[in-house]
Structure 1
Amino acid sequence: MTLVVGWVLLPLVLGLLSLGCGLLVETVSGTRIPGALLLPLGFALVVVATPFAALSPSTASLAAPIVVALAVIGLGISPRLRSLRADWWATAAGAGAYLVYAAPVVLSGRATFAGYIKLDDTATYFAMLDRLETRGRSLAGLAPSTYEATLATSLAYGYPVGSFGPLGAAQKLLRTDVAWLWQPYLAFLAAVLALTLYALASRLAQWRPGRAIVAFVAAQPAILFGYALWGGIKELAAALLLALLAATVQILLEAHTARAAIPVAVAAAAVVDVLSLGGAAWLVLLAAAPVLAFLLHGRAFALRATGVFAGAAAVCAIPAIVAAVEWLPRSGAFTRESELGNLIGPLKLAQIAGIWPVGDFRRSPHDLAPTYVLIALVVAAALGGALLAWLRRSWGLLLYGGGALVGALVLDRFASPWVAGKGLATAAPALLVLALCAAAALVAQGRWIEAAVVAAALIGGVAWSNVLAYREVWLAPSSRLSDLEAIGRRYAGEGPALMTEFDPYGARHFLRRLDAEGTSELRRHVIPLRNGQPLEPQAYADIDRFDLGGLLFYRTLVLRRSPLQSRPPSPYRLVERRRWYEVWQRDDRRPRVLRHLPLGNERDPGAVPSCAAIQGLALLPGVARLVAVPREQVAVFALSSLRRPASWTPGYVSGSVDPRGSGAVSTRFSVTRGPYDVWLGGSFLGKFSASIDGREVGSARHQLEWSGQLVRLGGTPLAGGPHTVTLRYDAGGWRPGSHGIAPFPAGPLVVAPREKLSTIAVDPAAAQTLCGRRLDWVEAVS
């Protein structure tokens, strides 16, 4: 059902809202808007309108009602609504782009989002969107937590949020978590971009089927598609709004009323809302608009239009101006040459051409020669397209190409590599649409062979690039995150909570109502290890490695299920066990812990304590009982130490492997009778399946995990004695994300008893009864 809500209902809701708002702008401006531009222009109005609600905490929740009201008014007062007819070729271009951007998620068969682990900014975006919908930019009333600390360094600083507004409004109406709407929203942005490019190309590609192909392909340049696969919401929104801005200038120049500047103002304000005032470099294409208006319509028209634009844009951009007061002084880091963000190095300027055949756009293609040949063809064809735009007075398309190129060059020269890369993605559709329009013009001239050669090379280069990106996409583990979503709802208000696992989507978003903190995340409280030092960023540690005093501050623990995980200290009781997580809560009625003696290590949660250590606990002043947790032996196998396929190379984590091809490993182990589970550590892109004595017990596919976590493959009852466990990996295939290298290597392989971690208690006088037993930990309690 979540798939249907995201991929079917979301575009329908946003499409209807955008249509109504587009008709409203058309009516107010007194200018007929091309049908393909009604949705893009209405989308821009939604971007402009929603930040007004966030200006005050008391009105923040009104964003969705405001958008609905604007759409209803637009549909109600539009004289054009009844005569409106769909341009099915424009629809095909938009739908095609939507499906291309949807494929990496939809073909996985699950509701999820892309870019997991590769870039965790999306978790911050989720946090900001959550707050914007309820209290705007105000953090008043938030308890100290990872969620609050995240917002204090982003939303409260005036971070530009224009691209979030339409999604926030739709989320309110659909009542679905933003995580499952995120990727459909990005695909919707791509569809709206295709509609805008379809309108821009109308003068050069007059044959509608050909124009639909131009728009469909130009909406998916490799670098923009790559950014979409790691949550690039601002890049997609800016790309479509930049194209829309150019298209509205074309409308102004063809109109006979100065009110036609209103759509230009809406588009320009939307660009600023998405990128803040620092994104004004993209508005350079407007510089030529007054000159062209003067040359085409005279001085009086140019002055009136400029006045209308200035007044409307100033009003529409009020929220962006207010936010920029906080944001711009803090955005200096974005201009430093050393700021790479999550890039490996600065991107190549050539990537603006939209063809870059490699699975991850941050890397260079294996063979650059054919890549540069295709890029040279894009540039040559784009120059031809620009010349045609000049000759045919397609001022909007010409301004789009020139403005996009200048904006990207300015950012490449003066901004950090991180921001410059975003600029390349934003500008990339411009070169492709000009180049493809040149091919379409060749068709109109009857030069079919030349047109076919150029079009085939451009379309093939884009498709080649995006298929490779599709194959190497990293998808979020939706089943596990759904567990966190359910926990966040059920235990809302029962914080503060703690996660020992590093997962920014948990602490920043799903568990926000529990005032959760991550032990290696941005946080307000120091959660020291037993040695007094904090855990390193993005690291994981067993619950037994943390100082007891720091741990007991938290009422609720949300712990990842693992056969290597220790049971929490005795003041905590298990309240829920889910597929991926356990929820423990502190019971203040339980005896106070005088001393906690942890045992075991990272590969074995249990050990046999010395009798001297146990007797030492029994002799502590005030001790009333000794509490302990029995633990059975866990079989842990380092994959790198097993006989394995040659394609399974050793990973950088001790005992792990990087499986670069299909194959299997087997090993023997002995157990006592009972139910057992098979677990696998690390991340993997293909399918791992486990079998015991030739019978499959379970499998998992494309499971991405942060360091230190294990995935349960399956379980089965076993008789006592020796057994053989086999781990098989199936690499490749047609599914998204089935190729490349996972973020963390695979391993270890674990076979563990399915045990309930219950406690036992003895009198201090009977402490010796604990000697010689395998235990998780021992406590002295009062």
Structure 2
Amino acid sequence: MDTVAAWVLLPAVLVAVSFGLGAVLRRVSRLPVPSGLLVPIGMALGVVLALSGYSIGLRGLLTPVLIAVLALAGIVLAVRRDEIKRPGLGALLWLAVYGLYMGPVVLTGGWTWPGYNFVNDTAVQLVVADWLPSNGRALPSERGISTTTDVLTTYLSGGYPQGSHALLAALHGLVPVGLAELYHPFVASLAATCALALSVLIAPVVGRRWAAVGGFAAVANNLFYQYALQGNMKEIATAATLATAAALAGWILSHLRRTPRARRGRALVASAALLAVPVSAAVDVLSVAGAPYAALIVVLWLGMAAAQRLIPDLRSLGLALAAGIAVLAVATAATLPRLITWGQTTSTTFATPQMAEDLGHLARPLELRQTAGVWLIGDYRFPPVGTSALLTTLGVVLVGGLCLVAVLALARRRDARVALFVVPVVVVMVLVTPRVSPYADGKTLMLMAPGVTLLGAVGAAALARWRPGVGIVLAAALVGGLLLSDAMAYHAVKLAPVDRIESLRDLDRHLGEDRGLALFNEPEEFAKVFLDDTRHNASTEAITPSQVQLRIPQGFGNLYFDLDEQTLEYVTQFPTVVLRRSPAASRPPAPYELSYRNRHYEVWRRRSGPEVLEHLPLQGIYQAALEPSCQEVVALARRAREGEVLVAAPAPTLVMLDTIAARRSAGWNPHPYRPRMVLTATPGEATARVSVRKPGVYRGWIAGSFGRPITAYVDDRPIGSARGVNNVGQWHALETVPLTAGRHELRIKRPSGGLAPGDGYAGELGPLVLERQEDAQLERVAPAQARSRLCGREWDWIERVRPGDRRDPISRRAA
């Protein structure tokens, strides 16, 4: 039910609310704004109202209710004035774009979001959107409470723009479904609204049908599409507000030409005030980075109005500027105080010499030609190869040629309205690119990309006037190239693992009442979203109360470190430790006991005593245990004082198919930097004969991250399949299987590709491990018995401890 509500109700509510707010603007301005622009300008007003409402203290449902009441009033006004028309091409365009963007999610059969572990900015967007309704723009009371509150403090105090977050939060109040479920439908709705606005912009030039083609082509641009699939909500919202401002400015020019000169002054003032709404929304959404785009649209609009002699006199111009500035000041009042702060933050993040080469998540600086929208490879960060490279070049040449035709045709018609959108995105890209990092440059190229393919569609329409067949064929080639590129992105998309997300939500319900700070020992950036009611410390986050302290210091961003790789002092400062379930993870130190377990996670809580004085870690790559050096064991025992004992964590009983050492298909090559991992470039399999020493029930585990199901077999019997994007160093659980002692054959198999979203994500594949299901208890060893009992065996770890009181199990065994 939540899935249907997210996919259907969210876009329906957004369109209805936006239409109603647009109708209010049409009524207040007394301008005959076309119906096709009501949803875009209403969405822009929704951004302004949502951010303003939360900023002035309209908490909880007050802001959503205010927006809904205004929207309802607008709809009632439109009905009474008989201004609601039957849905036409604009509605079909909106639905087509929404379907294109929702395809990777809908075709999974359930809610999720794309871009997981690609660019996890989505986590920050969700945290901020969740914070606004209850707290507005107030900062958390103090640092160190949890990773979630520390992230909020850092972003909010830095002037982080929140316009799109506020609109999402307000819609969440009207559609009571989880924010994560609503996130991608919201992004898809923004893209559809952007396409609608751009179609209105070019309709007077190319006609309504070609305008629909142009609007679709603009947002089907592969670079723009892929940024949406990685969760860039702010940037998609920025494009939508800029497209709305450009389309409204273009319509205003036409309206002023039709308005008698005697009434043109009033129309100009009303138009300036109305145009300030989407301009303000662009600033609210992207802060200081959105201002240059919006300002250029306004400057171009004024320049065109002056060139066409649509400004009746200086007094009218002055009043228009005053009206526009007044609306802008009111609509951005919640953002203006933070513009300087965010400008300073972004200048030190993206424009300093130290950051000049920062790639962020990119593998290389993006190429200018990628803005043509044809890029025949699933991951836009890499160049196409082979035949795909040749076809990409042909596609880029086609788009470039169509853009040239469009420029010549528009110059001949002396119609510059398309420039209202195209020129600002190109100018900002040209001016900004040399001054910022490749990561920031990628975003300027992404915002420019829809303008390129929009212009290409205008060129195809111009050719169709001359030779209809030629124009239609070239338009089909343009759209076909865009859709083929998008299909490749769909095939390679990385989708969020919803089953594990639900386990995080379950953890939050279980841990929410704990007072102490819990160590969350997994590089999971969405922990700060789904553990928001839990005092947790995501140890490898850049912003967190206590960053991981390693025995061997090294960089830790987005990496996994077993507890044995962390210092004892660091681990034991936390009363609770949360571990991802795994056959290779070390047990927490002796004072901790397992208190809760769900499908993916374990919760360990510290009891009173014993006191760990020294910890000998015994950890290998994908191995929870190793045989210790007897010399180290004896030395540890000699350091024990009276009353102290040694405690050892037994090694789990494991049977492993090592993917590197096994017989494997030719297309499965060793990972360049992840040990015991292979890259599965082709379908295939790996097999190995193994010896089972202890009979019993074993659970299967597969390490890695992959978009296609990997099936495991024991003696040709399937024991389950695993599929999904995973975090570094983590495992997928399979079913259990009874095993007898003796020789067995293990096999893992990757099938041929299919049409499912994400099926082309090859990822990385690690070992198959069978773990015997047994309840292993800590072993207490007297120092004098250390050599005989601890040497020559594998252990998870060995500790020197001082037992606690009589309630401590170790104390009772020592008595």
TM over 0.5: yes
Aligned-residue offset at 1:469: 1.4
- Equivalent of residue 521 in structure 1, options 511, 521, 541: 541
Aligned-residue offset at 1:542: 1.8
- Equivalent of residue 694 in structure 1, options 716, 738, 750: 716
**2:707 and 2:762 in contact (8 A); partners too:** yes
Q: Relative to structure 1, is the Cα distance of residues 133 and 769 closer, same or farther in structure 2, using a 3 angstrom cutoff?
A: farther
The aligned residue for residue 605 of structure 2 is 585
**Cα shift readout 1:451-475 (whole Å, capped 9, x = no counterpart):** 1222122112211211121122122
Q: Relative to structure 1, is the Cα distance of residues 526 and 108 closer, same or farther in structure 2, using a 3 angstrom cutoff?
A: closer
The aligned residue for residue 92 of structure 1 is 92
The aligned residue for residue 707 of structure 2 is 685
The aligned residue for residue 429 of structure 2 is 408
The aligned residue for residue 194 of structure 2 is 193
The aligned residue for residue 286 of structure 2 is 275
Equivalent AA in structure 2 for residue 565 of structure 1: A
- Distance in 1 (CA, whole Å) between partners of 2:401 and 2:342 is 40
The aligned residue for residue 772 of structure 2 is 753
The aligned residue for residue 531 of structure 2 is 511
The aligned residue for residue 341 of structure 2 is 326
Aligned-residue offset at 1:534: 6.9
**2:59 and 2:133 in contact (8 A); partners too:** no
**Equivalent residue of 1:362, what SS?**
coil
- Distance in 2 (CA, whole Å) between partners of 1:122 and 1:621 is 52
- Distance in 1 (CA, whole Å) between partners of 2:658 and 2:451 is 51
- Distance in 1 (CA, whole Å) between partners of 2:357 and 2:402 is 35
Q: Relative to structure 1, is the Cα distance of residues 768 and 464 closer, same or farther in structure 2, using a 3 angstrom cutoff?
A: closer
Aligned-residue offset at 1:362: 2.0
| Equivalences for residues 470-485 of structure 1 within 5 A | 470-485=490-505
- Name whichever of 706-715 and 392-401 sits farther off: 392-401
Equivalent AA in structure 1 for residue 460 of structure 2: A
**Cα shift readout 1:281-307 (whole Å, capped 9, x = no counterpart):** 212122132243341252254443332
Q: Relative to structure 1, is the Cα distance of residues 650 and 143 closer, same or farther in structure 2, using a 3 angstrom cutoff?
A: same
Residue 306 in structure 1 maps to residue 321 in structure 2: yes
**Cα shift readout 1:312-338 (whole Å, capped 9, x = no counterpart):** 112112122111131112221322432
Residue 566 in structure 1 maps to residue 582 in structure 2: no
- Name whichever of 20-29 and 595-604 sits farther off: 595-604
- Equivalent of residue 665 in structure 1, options 686, 709, 727: 686
The aligned residue for residue 454 of structure 1 is 474
- Distance in 1 (CA, whole Å) between partners of 2:221 and 2:444 is 13
Aligned-residue offset at 1:201: 2.3
The aligned residue for residue 240 of structure 2 is 240
**2:540 and 2:547 in contact (8 A); partners too:** no
Equivalent AA in structure 2 for residue 130 of structure 1: D
- Distance in 2 (CA, whole Å) between partners of 1:153 and 1:173 is 29
**Cα shift readout 1:558-614 (whole Å, capped 9, x = no counterpart):** 210001112222332222211111122223x45444444444534432356659948
The aligned residue for residue 375 of structure 1 is 396
The aligned residue for residue 288 of structure 1 is 300
- Name whichever of 392-401 and 273-282 sits farther off: 392-401
- Name whichever of 639-648 and 46-55 sits farther off: 46-55
| Equivalences for residues 522-671 of structure 1 within 5 A | 522=542, 523-530=544-551, 533=553, 536-587=556-607, 589-607=608-626, 613=633, 620-621=640-641, 623=643, 627-652=647-672, 653-671=674-692
**2:704 and 2:765 in contact (8 A); partners too:** yes
Aligned-residue offset at 1:641: 1.2
**2:702 and 2:722 in contact (8 A); partners too:** no
- Distance in 2 (CA, whole Å) between partners of 1:289 and 1:655 is 60
- Distance in 1 (CA, whole Å) between partners of 2:73 and 2:645 is 72
The aligned residue for residue 167 of structure 1 is 168
**Cα shift readout 1:397-428 (whole Å, capped 9, x = no counterpart):** 23222233223322234433222221221122
- Distance in 1 (CA, whole Å) between partners of 2:282 and 2:222 is 22
Q: Relative to structure 1, is the Cα distance of residues 311 and 413 closer, same or farther in structure 2, using a 3 angstrom cutoff?
A: same
The aligned residue for residue 263 of structure 2 is none
- Name whichever of 341-350 and 605-614 sits farther off: 605-614
Ranges in structure 2 where 5+ consecutive residues have no aligned partner: 260-266, 805-815
**1:239 and 1:425 in contact (8 A); partners too:** no
**1:61 and 1:135 in contact (8 A); partners too:** no
Q: Relative to structure 1, is the Cα distance of residues 374 and 302 closer, same or farther in structure 2, using a 3 angstrom cutoff?
A: farther
The aligned residue for residue 353 of structure 1 is 372
Q: Relative to structure 1, is the Cα distance of residues 723 and 134 closer, same or farther in structure 2, using a 3 angstrom cutoff?
A: same
Residue 152 in structure 1 maps to residue 163 in structure 2: no
**Equivalent residue of 1:242, what SS?**
helix
Q: How many pairs were matched up?
A: 774
- Equivalent of residue 384 in structure 1, options 405, 410, 420: 405
Q: Relative to structure 1, is the Cα distance of residues 9 and 374 closer, same or farther in structure 2, using a 3 angstrom cutoff?
A: same
Aligned-residue offset at 1:203: 1.0
- Name whichever of 533-542 and 678-687 sits farther off: 533-542
Percent identity of paired positions between Structure 1 and Structure 2: 32
Report the TM-score, using the length of structure 1 for normalisation.
0.92
Equivalent AA in structure 1 for residue 735 of structure 2: G
**2:564 and 2:619 in contact (8 A); partners too:** no
The aligned residue for residue 364 of structure 1 is 383
- Distance in 1 (CA, whole Å) between partners of 2:750 and 2:81 is 56
Ranges in structure 1 where 5+ consecutive residues have no aligned partner: none
Aligned-residue offset at 1:309: 1.4
Aligned-residue offset at 1:692: 0.9
- Name whichever of 474-483 and 335-344 sits farther off: 335-344
**Cα shift readout 1:695-722 (whole Å, capped 9, x = no counterpart):** 1110022x22232111123321222322
- Distance in 2 (CA, whole Å) between partners of 1:539 and 1:357 is 31
The aligned residue for residue 808 of structure 2 is none
Q: Relative to structure 1, is the Cα distance of residues 61 and 562 closer, same or farther in structure 2, using a 3 angstrom cutoff?
A: same
The aligned residue for residue 725 of structure 1 is 746
Report the TM-score, using the length of structure 2 for normalisation.
0.88
Aligned-residue offset at 1:762: 7.2
Q: Relative to structure 1, is the Cα distance of residues 534 and 416 closer, same or farther in structure 2, using a 3 angstrom cutoff?
A: closer
- Distance in 2 (CA, whole Å) between partners of 1:406 and 1:149 is 37
Equivalent AA in structure 1 for residue 380 of structure 2: F
Equivalent AA in structure 1 for residue 189 of structure 2: F
- Name whichever of 671-680 and 139-148 sits farther off: 139-148
**Cα shift readout 1:458-515 (whole Å, capped 9, x = no counterpart):** 1122112111211221222222122112212332142411122111111x32223222
**2:659 and 2:767 in contact (8 A); partners too:** yes
- The alignment's C-alpha RMSD in Å is 2.8
**Equivalent residue of 1:276, what SS?**
helix
- Distance in 2 (CA, whole Å) between partners of 1:598 and 1:218 is 56
**1:204 and 1:441 in contact (8 A); partners too:** no
- Equivalent of residue 501 in structure 1, options 517, 522, 525: 522
The aligned residue for residue 807 of structure 2 is none
The aligned residue for residue 674 of structure 1 is 696
Residue 259 in structure 1 maps to residue 260 in structure 2: no
